Chain A
Amino acid sequence: MSEWWTYRAEDFLLFSPRVYWRMFELHNAALWPLHVLTLAAGLIIILLVARRPKPSARWLALILAIPWIFVGWSFLWNRYATINWAAAYVAPAFAVEGVLLLVIGSLRDGLAFDRRGLAGWTGYLILAFALAGQPLLAPLQGRGWASSEVFGIAPDPTAMATLGVLLLARGRLLPLLLPIPVLWCLLSGLTLQTMEEPQAWAPYAALALAAAAWIWTIIRRTADIMKENRT
């Protein structure tokens, strides 16, 4: 594409906000009452993280992996791709994230959910927002419950919940799990911002909080190492 610098984000927006939110309405109507199950899965994730039994990491990764694969197939591939051809290229990335969660979660010492402190509490906050806050945005903005975005059904709360969970985790291969949810939050924020939808702040805020918590953790860890070296 030549003269690429002359293109604005609006030039890549292929659909209207009305069509976008109607898509969630149709998706929710088609899948109801699966939402109850996916929200229950979200609550189980919180319980498993809070209780911290080591073998639960495998189950937790499995519970998180299934929504990624399901949302990639049911929402991105079957629904979103009909109005945005780029979604067909993003859907496989959701499957990849699901597989990575399964593989890394099943490895011995792959993931351990024992992080606390600022990063941990930020993780809980993002996770709680993804499960309980995000579905409220539709009625709060006057669109009604029908177009609510629910964890395990819609991509935004699924990606945000994963960011929250990863903030609570430790593991050598953890960085491999970060790029796809981070990139999705960026892409979704940009799409919503281009549509002039106020809720663009949600994925951006989740990203900003997660980034701040990680940076804080790195600074603290570096300071601790330096302190240990001095003593």
Chain B
Amino acid sequence: MRTTRRTFVRASLATAAATLLPISLRAQEGLPARRAIPSTREEIPIVGLGTWITFNVGNDPVLRDECARVMAAFFEAGGRMIDSSPMYGSSQPVIGYGLQKLGRPSALFSAEKVWTSSAAAGPPQIEQSRRFWGVPKFDLVQVHNLLAWKAHLQTLFQMKATGAVRYVGITTSEGRRHDLIEQIMRNEPIDFVQISYNVVDREVEARLLPLASERGIAVIVNRPFRQGALTQRLKSEPLPKWAAELGVSSWAQLILKFILSHPAVTVAIPATTRVDHVRENLAAAAGPMPDLAMRQRISAHVKAL
């Protein structure tokens, strides 16, 4: 099922009701637009920074500095959410290195994950991750790919109750286990759900995105460029002339605007190793967003290529 006018308007209204904010993105001059996390109404810039593969650079001092420069550009452009996982190799210590180098920016919204099949190993893993980042506590901890989700959610809800973490979430990627994701969204008081969504992978529009709006759950979108494969595929194609109406200068920006214009989406987290790309991504969070007709136009155009 694709987004129809009815489901789009319904999702928009549900999001507005949940957040008590206007649907239109209120971008200030040059700054990325923000959206509210439904459970607290705290506003957050709609483009974050993913670290899957890109920040896994081991102990390489040159590449660590490169990652720190990407983080610096991200914060300078108004970004806040950085997302990682214990599964991502050395990404966590590399983030910690960057944060230390940048003087621990107060804007940081730290999004981490717990990823272990053992319930008992969850809390020590979260503590280890916190040490890697060098933060007093995480803003958000998510159960990665629903691994041992019942036990970890219990741990995370307890941590939230004691103030050790601010938000709790679950994640999946590339369309896996959507039935279970839906079940958890319906039955557990989670703040965030992280899913894959882009102009060609639109399955979540049918049930998960409307459900997130209905239940007041913030949505993080991972793999917006299909891990670079989508932008790579479109690279040789000219950007359509009508894309200028949205103020975009690249396929990456057009794809991001498509994702961000869905009213149920709170943050998209593209990953990159390049400073110019991180600036370009955050620039896509400002300016006009596609309406339903434009979204259909973007989708049809990409499909036809």
B-binding residues in A (CB < 8 A): 1-3, 6, 10-11, 13-16, 19, 22-23, 26, 79, 82-85
**Is chain A's interface secondary structure helix, strand, loop, or mixed overall?**
loop
7 contacts between A and B (CB under 8 A): A14-B87, A15-B56, A19-B58, A82-B58, A82-B59, A83-B89, A85-B87
- Any A CB within 8 A of the CB of B90: yes
Contacts of A15 in B (CB 8 A): 53, 56-58, 89
A23 close to B60 (CB less than 8 A)? yes
Chain A residue nearest to B175 (CB atoms) is A6
Contacts of A26 in B (CB 8 A): 59-60
B176 close to A3 (CB less than 8 A)? yes
Q: Which of B43-60 contact A (CB under 8 A)?
A: 53-54, 56-60
Q: Which of A1, A6, A11, A83 contacts B56 (CB 8 A)?
A: A83
Interface residues on B, range: 20 to 34
Give Cα distance in the complex from A13 to B145, angstroms.
16
Contacts of A84 in B (CB 8 A): 89
4 closest Cβ contacts across the A-B interface?
Answer: A82-B58, A83-B58, A14-B89, A83-B89
Give Cα distance in the complex from A16 to B132, angstroms.
21
B176 close to A19 (CB less than 8 A)? no
Give Cα distance in the complex from A3 to B177, angstroms.
8
B63 close to A19 (CB less than 8 A)? yes
- Any A CB within 8 A of the CB of B245: no
A-binding residues in B (CB < 8 A): 53-54, 56-60, 62-63, 87-90, 145, 147, 174-177, 227, 273
Q: Which of A6, A13, A22, A23 contacts B176 (CB 8 A)?
A: A6
**Is chain B's interface secondary structure helix, strand, loop, or mixed overall?**
loop
Contacts of B53 in A (CB 8 A): 13-16
B174 close to A6 (CB less than 8 A)? yes
15 additional A-B pairs beyond A6-B174, A19-B60, A22-B63, beta carbons within 8 Å, are: A1-B145, A3-B176, A3-B177, A13-B53, A14-B89, A15-B57, A15-B58, A16-B54, A19-B57, A19-B63, A23-B60, A82-B58, A83-B58, A83-B89, A85-B87
Chain B residue nearest to A10 (CB atoms) is B227
Task: With both chains docked as a complex, state the minimum distance between the C-beta of B128 and any C-beta of chain A, in angstroms.
Answer: 13
Task: With both chains docked as a complex, state the minimum distance between the C-beta of A131 and any C-beta of chain B, in angstroms.
Answer: 27
Contacts of B227 in A (CB 8 A): 10
Contacts of A82 in B (CB 8 A): 58-59, 89-90
Are A23 and B54 also in contact (CB < 8 A) when A14-B88, A15-B89 are? no
Q: Which of B58, B89, B273 contacts A79 (CB 8 A)?
A: B58
Give Cα distance in the complex from A143 to B54, angstroms.
20
Contacts of A14 in B (CB 8 A): 53, 56, 87-89
Contacts of B87 in A (CB 8 A): 14, 85
Contacts of A83 in B (CB 8 A): 56-58, 89-90
Give Cα distance in the complex from A6 to B227, angstroms.
16
Q: Which of A2, A11, A19, A23 contacts B177 (CB 8 A)?
A: A2
Give Cα distance in the complex from A19 to B288, angstroms.
37
Chain A residue nearest to B59 (CB atoms) is A82
Contacts of A11 in B (CB 8 A): 174
B58 close to A23 (CB less than 8 A)? yes
Contacts of A23 in B (CB 8 A): 58, 60
Give Cα distance in the complex from A1 to B89, angstroms.
18
Chain B residue nearest to A11 (CB atoms) is B174
Give Cα distance in the complex from A1 to B177, angstroms.
11
Task: With both chains docked as a complex, state the minimum distance between the C-beta of A195 and any C-beta of chain B, in angstroms.
Answer: 11
Chain B residue nearest to A26 (CB atoms) is B60
Give Cα distance in the complex from A83 to B59, angstroms.
9
B176 close to A85 (CB less than 8 A)? no
Give Cα distance in the complex from A3 to B88, angstroms.
20
A85 close to B60 (CB less than 8 A)? no
Which of A2, A11, A82 has the most C-beta atoms of chain B within 10 angstroms of its own C-beta? A82
Chain A residue nearest to B61 (CB atoms) is A26
Give Cα distance in the complex from A26 to B64, angstroms.
13
Contacts of B177 in A (CB 8 A): 2-3
Chain B residue nearest to A22 (CB atoms) is B60
